[in-house]
């Protein structure tokens, strides 16, 4: 039955142990920052009080660390005693003195570890054994936290392969992790990132032993025969279908340590945008899963999107908070989404704390596609981002030079909620990156208030019939058409405004070694393609570097195996690279989840060239989350304009801002060393076409 809670038989015994809910209230020490986003509840929350709303304007740069690697750093540092740990843009783990920024150790070769992004590290200790766990490429590394030396007894001389819990079909497939794992006792539960087109493996949730590196348990997000949830897949063998995969957790997890429950938000099934090969609701994709962290057994789940056709992955870990209803305190879990919805559940039972209605949505016009007839939409809170069905002509940007063309596209676009992708272009708002994104939502855990920043940038979604003919092309060009054309276009010009660089004259910017590594490991939005056979990869290199590409395949290559292809990632941007809808393009919200009502909403960020012309505040695109303090502050970087800001968390009033050396597409960390409070943030720039940086900057009062 759709969205049934599927309680396991042992759950009744589990409840007996946990029936005294009040004794499990938030008792964590919020004065430290020992794990990703501040703690296992992922609330980005601190009780440190030296920096106040009254003196925040006196903040000064306390120290700056210059990384040897330049580029986007999404990482949220953690601090253990006097050491701050993070990851550079080239996936080197670093340990700094948290009071001075002096480098203590650095691990990794930037040319061998891979080119993706990382959001940080995890920490584990038992007695004198202290370890940093982090990922690079397909490997989870365990390092001595004091020296940075690999722990030889962990896995294969200090590392384990993340493919090991994904089945035989995962061999040589692209599998990495962008987000730190969640540590509980002697296990670490790992997020993984997979491709989003055909060829991805099932995105199982995996727990590893922190001491040995052994695989402890696996939860199948694409059920196998005889497992609960299999009835939501028309093809009962989808688990082994080479065209179907994913459903992975890539965004991280939250942990109720007292109850031993881990909350896992999952992503969409692959392939994105066309689901004719994966008919059904597709459990456990796009779900909030509550698992027994000791065993991986499912306690409850709720699916937030049925048969996802819009890449509506759950973008960040949920928040573990306490809400009050009729004078009673309820342990709750809150999940913010790309759609701008917030779903709130009883943390123990999975019961929704606000009504969720199954709303009738449009059917698909594509042959073979069977979109879900309904989608679950919460009655409260209202969305914290504009919805596509609200758009009118007045919502096209007054600053767009080519405004008439956007008005035409808006007129032609299907603006119904959850309209399935089709052959005509349509506007997706919120866009593929959200509303909410991987920076995460902050929360006041005991007061039940969340703080979420929102993207207000649409994308254009369109499918095309698969009429690609590649059989008579040279091998390198065939390989390009198979793997690269969706993002970088047939003419290799890419779409720089949407974040996909031109590959024309590539040899003037990159060496063959660099490109070969990027093809294997990926970077940013680009997944890696380690599965490309060596002869095809070499032929592709000839094609990309404008060398003679005369190699013919030994046997005809298969064309794309689906009847429809995604026409390419395209942001709804004007000629200046700004969102083509009217401002605000970035917002910040405080939402009271006791009542479902908004406390405040403000514009987040500026567009400098429009500000210089005297136009009102526009907001801007943003990646990275906020940090809130008990005494009334909210800190956030995240914005394209490159500022670090402090707001009054009670009113949303801007109190302080500082121009960073590069845009900080990351969530800050707050900590204390030797009685002094610091807030630190990684400034790598690069994303959204911003200047590249390489610094971590820490602020404190003089």
Cα 260 from Cα 293, distance rounded (Å):
6
Cα 441 from Cα 452, distance rounded (Å):
5
Cα 699 from Cα 702, distance rounded (Å):
9
Cα 505 from Cα 351, distance rounded (Å):
56
Cα 321 from Cα 668, distance rounded (Å):
20
The verdict on 310 and 197 lying in the same domain is: yes
* Structure confidence at residue 28 (pLDDT): 79
Cα 18 from Cα 27, distance rounded (Å):
16
**Per-residue pLDDT reduced to its tens digit, 544-567:** 888 876 666 666 566 688 999 998
The verdict on 261 and 197 lying in the same domain is: yes
The verdict on 628 and 675 lying in the same domain is: yes
The verdict on 270 and 255 lying in the same domain is: yes
* Structure confidence at residue 56 (pLDDT): 98
* Structure confidence at residue 692 (pLDDT): 97
Q: In sequence order, what are the residues at sequence separation of 6 or more whose Cβ sits closer than 8 angstroms to the Cβ of residue 605?
A: 585, 586, 618, 619, 620, 621, 622, 639, 640, 641, 643
> Which pair of structure tokens corresponds to residue 264?
């896992």
User: How many CA atoms, within 13 angstroms, populate the side-chain half-sphere of residue 267?
Assistant: 31
The verdict on 540 and 685 lying in the same domain is: no
Q: In sequence order, what are the residues at sequence separation of 6 or more whose Cβ sits closer than 8 angstroms to the Cβ of residue 314?
A: 251, 265, 266, 267, 286, 287, 288, 304, 335, 337, 338
Q: Which of 333, 361, 385 is the last residue of a domain?
A: 385
Among residues 640, 451, 649, 324, which one has the least CA distance to residue 44?
451
The verdict on 538 and 619 lying in the same domain is: no
DSSP per-residue letters across 371-411: --SEEEEESSSPPSS--GGG--GGGB-TT-TTHHHHHHHHH
Cα 26 from Cα 49, distance rounded (Å):
19
Instruction: Report mean pLDDT in 10-residue bins for the chain, 702 residues.
Output: 41 36 59 98 98 98 97 97 97 97 93 78 98 95 98 98 88 92 98 93 97 98 96 96 96 98 98 97 98 98 98 98 96 98 98 98 97 98 97 96 93 94 95 96 98 96 80 77 77 72 83 79 73 80 80 65 90 94 98 98 98 97 98 98 98 98 98 98 96 98 94
Cα 82 from Cα 32, distance rounded (Å):
11
**Total number of domains in the chain:** 3
Among residues 251, 687, 577, which one has the least CA distance to residue 436?
251
Asked if the structure places residue 45 within a domain, the reply is: yes
Supply the range of the domain harboring residue 509: 467-559
**Pairing relationship of beta strands 78-80 and 692-701 according to DSSP bridges:** unpaired
The verdict on 277 and 140 lying in the same domain is: yes
Helices assigned H by DSSP within 147-290: none
SS3 601: strand
Cα 248 from Cα 623, distance rounded (Å):
21
The verdict on 490 and 351 lying in the same domain is: no
- Helix (H) or strand (E) holding 94, with range, is strand 93-97
Cα 287 from Cα 251, distance rounded (Å):
13
**Per-residue pLDDT reduced to its tens digit, 225-259:** 999 999 999 999 999 999 999 999 999 999 999 99
Asked if the structure places residue 565 within a domain, the reply is: no
Are 95 and 88 contacting, i.e. CB atoms less than 8 angstroms apart? no
* Structure confidence at residue 468 (pLDDT): 59
Asked if the structure places residue 433 within a domain, the reply is: no
**Per-residue pLDDT reduced to its tens digit, 369-406:** 999 999 999 999 999 999 999 999 999 999 999 899 99
The verdict on 89 and 136 lying in the same domain is: no
The verdict on 343 and 481 lying in the same domain is: no
Asked if the structure places residue 588 within a domain, the reply is: no
Cα 115 from Cα 250, distance rounded (Å):
17
Environment class of residue 555 by beta-carbon count within 10 Å: exposed (0-12), middle (13-18) or buried (19+)?
Answer: exposed
Check which CATH number belongs to the domain holding 135 and give it: 2.140.10.10
- Count H helices and E strands in the chain, helices first: 7, 43
Q: Which of 334, 351, 385 is the last residue of a domain?
A: 385
Cα 315 from Cα 244, distance rounded (Å):
21
Asked if the structure places residue 346 within a domain, the reply is: yes
Rg (CA), the chain: 24
**Per-residue pLDDT reduced to its tens digit, 12-59:** 333 333 433 444 444 679 999 999 999 999 999 999 999 999 999 999
* Structure confidence at residue 114 (pLDDT): 62
Asked if the structure places residue 586 within a domain, the reply is: no
**Rounded to 5, what percent of the chain is helix, strand, coil?**
15, 30, 55
Asked if the structure places residue 44 within a domain, the reply is: yes
The verdict on 131 and 216 lying in the same domain is: yes
The verdict on 50 and 127 lying in the same domain is: no
Q: Which of 385, 415, 444 is the last residue of a domain?
A: 385
Asked if the structure places residue 275 within a domain, the reply is: yes
């Amino acid at each position: 039955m759709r969205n049934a809670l599927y309680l396991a038989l042992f759950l009744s015994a589990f409840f007996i142990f946990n029936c005294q809910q009040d004794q499990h209230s938030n008792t964590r020490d919020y004065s430290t920052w020992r794990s990703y986003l501040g703690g296992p509840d992922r609330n980005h929350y601190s009780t440190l009080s030296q920096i106040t709303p009254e003196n925040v304007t006196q903040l000064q740069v306390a120290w700056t660390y210059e990384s040897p690697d330049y580029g986007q750093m999404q990482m949220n540092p953690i601090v253990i005693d006097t050491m701050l740990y993070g990851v550079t843009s080239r996936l080197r783990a670093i340990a700094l003195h948290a009071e001075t920024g002096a480098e203590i150790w650095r691990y990794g070769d930037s040319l061998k570890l891979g080119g993706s992004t990382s959001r940080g590290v995890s920490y584990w200790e038992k007695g004198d054994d202290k370890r940093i766990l982090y990922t690079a490429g397909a490997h989870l590394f365990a390092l001595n936290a004091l020296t940075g030396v690999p722990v030889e007894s962990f896995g294969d001389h200090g590392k384990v392969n993340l493919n090991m819990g994904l089945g035989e079909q995962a061999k040589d497939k692209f599998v990495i992790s962008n987000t730190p794992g969640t540590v509980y006792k002697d296990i670490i539960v790992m997020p993984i990132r997979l491709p989003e087109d055909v060829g991805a493996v099932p995105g199982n949730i995996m727990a590893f032993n922190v001491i040995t590196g052994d695989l402890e348990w696996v939860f199948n997000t694409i059920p196998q025969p005889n497992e609960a949830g299999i009835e939501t897949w028309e093809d009962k063998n989808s688990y082994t279908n080479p065209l179907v995969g994913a459903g992975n957790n890539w965004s991280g997890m939250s942990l109720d340590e007292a109850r031993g429950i881990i909350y896992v938000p999952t992503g969409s099934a692959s392939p994105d945008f066309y689901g004719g090969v994966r008919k059904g609701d597709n459990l456990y994709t796009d779900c909030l899963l509550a698992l027994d962290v000791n065993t991986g057994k499912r306690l409850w789940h709720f699916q937030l999107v049925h048969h996802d056709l819009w890449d509506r992955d759950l973008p960040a870990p949920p928040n573990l908070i306490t809400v009050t209803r009729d004078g009673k305190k309820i342990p709750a879990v809150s999940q913010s989404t790309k759609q701008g919805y917030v779903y709130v559940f009883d943390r123990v039972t999975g019961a929704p704390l606000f009504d969720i209605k199954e709303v009738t949505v449009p059917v698909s016009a594509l042959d073979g596609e069977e979109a879900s007839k309904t989608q679950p939409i919460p009655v409260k809170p209202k969305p914290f981002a504009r919805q596509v069905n609200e758009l009118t002509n007045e919502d096209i940007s007054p600053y767009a030079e080519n405004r008439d063309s956007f008005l035409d596209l808006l007129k032609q676009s299907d603006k119904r909620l959850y309209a399935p992708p089709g052959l005509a272009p349509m506007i997706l708002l919120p866009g593929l990156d959200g509303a909410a994104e991987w920076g995460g939502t902050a929360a006041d855990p005991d007061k039940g208030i969340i703080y979420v920043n929102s993207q207000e940038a649409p994308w254009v979604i369109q499918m095309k019939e698969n009429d690609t003919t590649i059989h008579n092309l040279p091998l390198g060009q065939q390989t390009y058409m198979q793997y690269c054309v969706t993002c970088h276009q047939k003419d290799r010009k890419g779409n720089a405004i949407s974040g996909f660089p031109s590959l024309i004259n590539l040899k003037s910017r990159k060496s063959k070694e660099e490109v070969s590594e990027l093809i294997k490991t990926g970077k940013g939005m680009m997944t890696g393609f380690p599965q490309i056979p060596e002869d095809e990869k070499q032929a592709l290199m000839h094609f990309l570097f404008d060398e003679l590409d005369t190699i013919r395949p030994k046997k005809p290559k298969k064309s794309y195996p689906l009847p429809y292809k995604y026409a390419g990632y395209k942001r709804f941007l004007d000629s200046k690279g700004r969102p083509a809808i009217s401002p605000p393009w970035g917002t910040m919200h405080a939402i009271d989840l006791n009542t479902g009502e908004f406390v405040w909403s403000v514009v987040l960020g500026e567009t400098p060239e429009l500000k210089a012309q005297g136009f009102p505040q526009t907001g801007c695109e943003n990646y990275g989350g906020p940090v809130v303090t008990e005494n009334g502050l909210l800190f956030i970087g995240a914005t394209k304009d490159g500022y670090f800001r402090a707001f009054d968390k009670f009113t949303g009033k801007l109190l302080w801002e500082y121009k960073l050396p590069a845009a900080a597409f990351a969530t800050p960390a707050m900590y204390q060393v030797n009685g002094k409070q610091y807030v630190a943030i990684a400034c790598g720039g690069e994303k959204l076409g911003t200047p590249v940086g390489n610094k971590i900057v820490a602020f404190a009062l003089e």
